[in-house]
C-alpha cells in the first residue's frame, strides 16, 4: 500500500509558519522590522492578553499599494530582493518574504494600508491565511497590521505557550532590541489599554536611559572606533555598575540585533581584572560592516551571525572597549546616601565626619637627600637594592624630577598657591589627597598593587624586566601537580624577571628574582603564584602572565598599617596617577574615593 501523500497547502503553510512564528514575540519582531524597513519614523504597538488575543502594529511608513497588499501574503513575496546577489548586499531586515504568510497562516489577520499618493487605503482580511477579503478603506499613510487570536487554528501550539509573563517578557525583549537599534524612531506600546512605553525619537544615550532607567546615564561610557573593515560605536558601562545580574548586553550589526558569544568575550576581556569575577558590564555596541563581510542570515528567526574576519574584529572591539574603560573611568565618589560602603570606615554610616581620625602626616622625610633617614618603607617595597637620587630619577623619570620641592608642613585643603597641597595618612592605611574642590582618599595597599602590576606587565611585555641574581640560590620542592603546572609557566616566570632552574623531581632552584622582589619568602610567593595559575587551566599565556604579575604585585605591595612619609605618599600618588587605570586594582577593587566640597558643605548642614 502506498503511504506517501502530499501535504495540503494549509498544513504545509502551518509547518512553515512554525519556523518563523513560534510565539507572540516573533510576530512583534517581524512586524516591527517590517515597519522599520518601510521607513517608519513612528511605530505604535497595541497588545492585549500578552499577545494572545491581539498584536497590532501601526506605522507611518511608505504603505502598500492594493496589488502589493495582496501579494505580500504569498510565500516568497518580498520587495527586498530580486536576485541571489542581492542576498549579499542586504541592508534591510526580512528578506525571504516569509513572515507575513507565516503570521497569516496561524492567526486572524487584518491589514490596513495606504501609500502617500493613493486616494484611499486598502483593507485585507483573512483567517488562517484563507478567504482573503479585499476592500477599500479610509486610513492614514502607512500600515496597520492587526493579528488576532494567534494559533487559534493550532491548539497544540497554543498550549505550548509559556506563562503570560514569560510571553510578555519575550515581547518586551523584541521591542527593546528594535527600539535600541533605531533610537530615531518613536515607539509606543500599550497593553490591556494601558500605556507601557512612550519613546520619542531620541539619541542612543537617551533611548538607553528611557528603556533602562536614569541610573544608566552616569554609567555609560562611549565607545567609538572606525577602521576600514568595521565601524564600532555605542556605549559600555563603567566599572562601578558591573553587576552579577541585570546587566544589559546588546550587539547590533548593521542595525540589527545579534548574539555573538565570541565578541561577548572580547568585551569581557576588556574588563578583565577591573571588575569582580562573575560581574558583567552592560554594553550597547553597534557594528557597521560591508554586508558582504557577514554571512547572510538564511534563518530569519536566528540571531547568530557569522563574520568573515572575526579575529580581527575581536581585537578591534576589545581594544576599543578597553581604551574607553581606561580613559573614562572615573574615581568613585563618596555617596552619603548609600548605606553600604564598607570600604570607607572613616566615612561609613554611623560616623559623622567629626569622627574622622586625626590626620597623621610626616613632612620631614626627603628621599632626595642622599644621606636621609633610614630606608623608607615605600622605597623598600618598590625599588631595587640601591637607593639614591639617581635611582629615584631613573625609576620615576620626570614624574619625580619636577617635584623636587621641600614638602610644606600642615594641611592646606584648597590652598590658593599652585604647589600641590601636602597629603596626610589616616590610620596608616589611607592617603588623604587634598584638591581645590574635593579630596581623595587612597587605599595605599591597593594603589601600590595597581602600580606594581602595571609596572611588572609593562616590563614583561617589553622584555625589559630587571632581574637580580641571588648570591645564594634557594631551593625548594614542588608537589607533582604544581611541578606540572610550573613546567608550563616557566617561560612566564622568566618574562617577569625570575631565574628559576628545574632541578628534576619537582625541585626548583631560585637563582634570580625580579629587581625589587628581593627579600621575599620566595618559596611561598612562587608556590602561591603557581597555585593561582593552576586554578584556571584554560587560561592563555597572556592571562597567565597577568595572574602571575598580580600575585607578585599583591605580595610586594606596601601593606595596610605601614606608616608612610610625606614623600612616600607623594610618590605613590604620582605613580598611581600615571597608571593606565588608576581607579581600580587589577582585581576590580576601588582604589580611591572622592569627597567633593559640595558634599562636605552638605554634610555640615
CB 75 to Mg ion: min, Å: 13
Binding residue for ligand ADP, selected from 97, 332, 407, 434, defined by CB under 6 A:
97
- Distance from C-alpha of 21 to C-alpha of 35, rounded to nearest angstrom: 17
Residue 357's CB: how many other CB atoms inside 10 A? Answer: 12
The reply on whether position 13 binds ligand ADP by CB under 6 A is no
Query: 50 touches which of ligand ADP, Mg ion, none (CB within 5 to 8 A by kind)?
Result: none
Helix (H) or strand (E) holding 576: helix 566-577
Among residues 94, 183, 422, 582, which is the contact residue for ligand ADP, using CB under 6 A?
94
Q: Which of 13, 51, 61, 420 binds ligand ADP (CB under 6 A)?
A: 61
Least distance in angstroms from the C-beta of 119 to ligand ADP: 18
Query: Least CB distance from residue 298 to Mg ion, whole Å?
Result: 14
List the interface residues with ligand ADP, window 140-199 (CB under 6 A): 143
Of Mg ion, ligand ADP, none, which one does residue 539 interact with (CB within 5 to 8 Å by kind)?
Answer: none
Cβ pair 507, 540 in contact under 8 A:
no
Backbone φ and ψ for 414, nearest 5 degrees, come out as 65, 30
As measured in angstroms, the least distance from the Cβ of 135 to ligand ADP is 19
CB-wise, 29 or 429, nearer to Mg ion? 29
Nearest distance, CB of residue 71 and ligand ADP, angstroms: 8
DSSP code for 355 = G
Instruction: Please state, in angstroms and rounded to a whole number, the distance separating the CA atoms of residues 280 and 265.
Output: 11
77's contact among ligand ADP, Mg ion, none, with CB below 5 to 8 A by partner kind, is ligand ADP
Task: From 60-68, 253-261, 372-380, 550-558, give the range in contact with ligand ADP by CB under 6 A.
Answer: 60-68
Q: What is the largest CA-CA distance in the chain?
A: 108
Q: Give the three-state DSSP class for 186.
A: strand
Residue with the three cell numbers 547572510:
296
> Which member of 25, 55, 64, 550 binds ligand ADP (CB under 6 A)?
64
Torsion of CA 513, 516, 518, 523, to 10 degrees: -60
Name the helix (H) or strand (E) containing 188: strand 186-191
- Are β-strands 283-289 and 249-253 bridged in parallel, bridged antiparallel, or unpaired? parallel
Which burial class, exposed, middle or buried, applies to 5 when counting CB atoms under 10 A from its CB (0-12, 13-18, 19+)? exposed
Strands 249-253 and 424-426: unpaired
Q: How far is the CB of 7 from ligand ADP (least distance, A)?
A: 21
Q: Pick out residues in 125-144 that bind ligand ADP (CB under 6 A).
A: 143
Residue in the structure block whose three cell numbers are 540571531: 303
220 within 8 A of 205, measured Cβ to Cβ:
yes
Cross-strand bridge partners of residue 384: none
Residue 38 near ligand ADP by CB under 6 A: yes
Would you say 13 or 94 has its CB closer to Mg ion? Answer: 94
Determine if 297 is a binding residue for ligand ADP (CB under 6 A): no
**314 and 267 in contact (C-beta within 8 Å)?**
no
Contact positions vs Mg ion (CB under 5 A): 34, 94, 99
Which is nearer to ligand ADP, 74 or 203 (by Cβ)? Answer: 74
Which of 30, 329 has the CB closer to ligand ADP?
30
144 binds, among Mg ion, ligand ADP, none (CB under 5 to 8 A by kind): none
Indicate the residue whose CB is closest to Mg ion. Answer: 94
Interface with ligand ADP (CB under 6 A): 30, 34-35, 38, 59, 61-64, 72, 77-80, 94-100, 143
Amino acid at each position: 500500500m502506498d503511504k506517501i501523500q502530499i501535504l495540503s497547502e494549509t498544513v504545509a503553510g502551518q509547518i512553515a509558519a512554525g519556523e518563523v512564528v513560534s510565539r507572540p514575540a516573533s510576530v512583534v519582531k517581524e512586524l516591527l522590522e517590517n515597519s522599520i524597513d518601510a521607513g517608519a519614523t513612528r511605530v505604535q504597538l497595541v497588545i492585549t492578553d500578552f499577545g494572545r488575543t491581539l498584536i497590532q502594529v501601526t506605522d507611518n511608513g511608505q504603505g502598500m499599494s492594493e496589488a502589493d497588499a495582496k501579494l505580500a501574503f504569498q510565500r516568497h513575496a518580498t520587495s527586498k530582493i530580486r536576485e541571489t546577489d542581492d542576498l549579499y548586499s542586504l541592508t534591510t531586515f526580512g528578506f525571504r518574504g516569509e513572515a507575513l504568510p507565516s503570521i497569516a497562516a496561524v492567526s486572524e489577520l487584518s491589514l490596513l494600508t495606504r501609500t502617500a499618493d493613493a486616494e484611499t487605503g486598502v483593507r485585507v482580511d483573512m483567517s488562517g491565511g484563507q478567504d482573503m477579503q479585499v476592500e477599500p478603506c479610509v486610513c492614514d499613510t502607512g500600515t496597520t497590521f492587526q493579528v488576532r487570536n494567534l494559533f487559534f487554528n493550532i491548539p497544540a501550539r497554543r498550549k505550548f505557550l509559556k506563562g503570560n509573563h514569560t510571553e510578555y517578557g519575550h515581547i518586551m525583549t523584541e521591542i527593546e532590541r528594535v527600539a535600541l537599534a533605531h533610537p530615531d524612531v518613536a515607539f509606543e506600546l500599550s497593553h490591556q489599554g494601558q500605556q507601557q512605553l512612550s519613546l520619542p525619537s531620541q539619541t542612543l544615550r537617551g533611548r538607553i536611559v528611557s528603556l533602562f532607567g536614569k541610573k544608566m546615564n552616569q554609567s555609560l561610557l562611549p565607545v567609538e572606533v572606525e577602521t576600514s573593515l568595521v565601524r564600532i560605536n555605542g556605549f559600555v558601562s563603567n566599572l562601578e555598575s558591573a553587576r552579577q545580574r541585570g546587566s544589559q548586553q546588546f550587539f547590533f550589526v548593521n542595525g540589527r540585533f545579534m548574539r555573538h558569544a565570541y565578541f561577548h568575550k572580547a568585551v569581557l576581556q576588556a574588563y578583565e581584572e577591573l571588575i569582580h569575577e562573575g560581574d558583567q558590564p552592560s554594553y550597547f555596541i553597534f557594528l557597521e560592516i560591508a554586508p558582504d563581510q557577514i554571512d547572510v542570515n538564511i534563518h530569519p528567526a536566528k540571531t547568530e551571525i557569522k563574520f568573515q574576519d572575526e579575529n580581527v574584529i575581536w581585537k578591534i572591539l576589545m581594544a576599543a572597549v578597553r581604551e574607553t574603560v581606561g580613559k573614562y573611568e572615573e574615581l568613585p565618589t563618596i555617596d552619603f546616601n548609600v548605606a553600604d560602603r564598607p570600604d570607607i570606615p572613616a566615612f561609613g554610616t554611623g560616623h559623622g565626619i567629626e569622627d574622622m581620625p586625626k590626620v597623621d602626616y610626616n613632612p620631614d622625610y626627603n628621599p632626595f637627600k642622599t644621606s636621609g633617614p633610614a630606608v623608607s618603607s615605600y622605597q623598600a617595597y618598590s625599588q631595587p637594592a640601591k637607593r639614591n637620587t639617581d635611582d629615584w630619577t631613573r625609576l620615576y623619570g620626570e614624574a619625580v624630577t619636577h617635584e623636587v620641592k621641600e614638602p610644606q608642613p600642615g594641611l592646606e585643603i584648597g590652598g590658593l598657591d599652585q604647589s600641590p597641597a601636602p597629603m596626610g595618612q589616616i590610620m596608616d592605611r589611607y592617603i588623604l589627597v587634598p584638591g581645590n574642590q574635593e579630596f581623595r582618599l587612597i587605599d595605599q595597599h591597593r594603589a601600590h598593587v595597581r602600580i606594581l602590576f602595571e609596572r611588572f606587565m609593562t616590563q614583561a611585555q617589553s622584555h625589559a624586566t630587571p632581574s637580580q641574581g641571588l648570591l645564594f640560590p634557594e631551593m625548594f620542592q614542588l608537589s607533582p601537580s604544581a611541578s606540572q603546572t610550573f613546567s608550563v609557566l616557566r617561560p612566564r616566570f622568566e618574562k617577569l624577571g625570575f631565574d628559576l632552574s628545574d632541578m628534576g623531581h619537582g625541585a626548583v632552584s631560585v637563582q634570580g628574582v625580579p629587581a625589587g622582589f628581593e627579600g621575599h619568602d620566595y618559596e611561598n610567593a612562587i608556590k602561591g603564584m603557581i597555585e593561582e595559575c593552576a586554578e584556571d587551566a584554560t587560561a592563555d599565556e597572556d592571562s597567565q602572565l597577568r595572574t602571575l604579575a598580580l600575585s607578585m604585585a599583591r605580595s610586594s605591595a606596601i601593606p595596610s598599617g605601614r606608616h608612610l612619609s610625606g614623600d612616600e605618599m607623594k610618590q605613590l600618588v604620582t605613580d598611581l596617577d600615571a597608571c593606565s587605570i588608576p581607579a581600580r586594582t587589577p582585581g576590580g577593587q576601588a582604589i580611591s574615593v572622592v569627597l567633593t566640597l559640595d558634599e562636605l558643605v552638605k554634610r555640615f548642614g
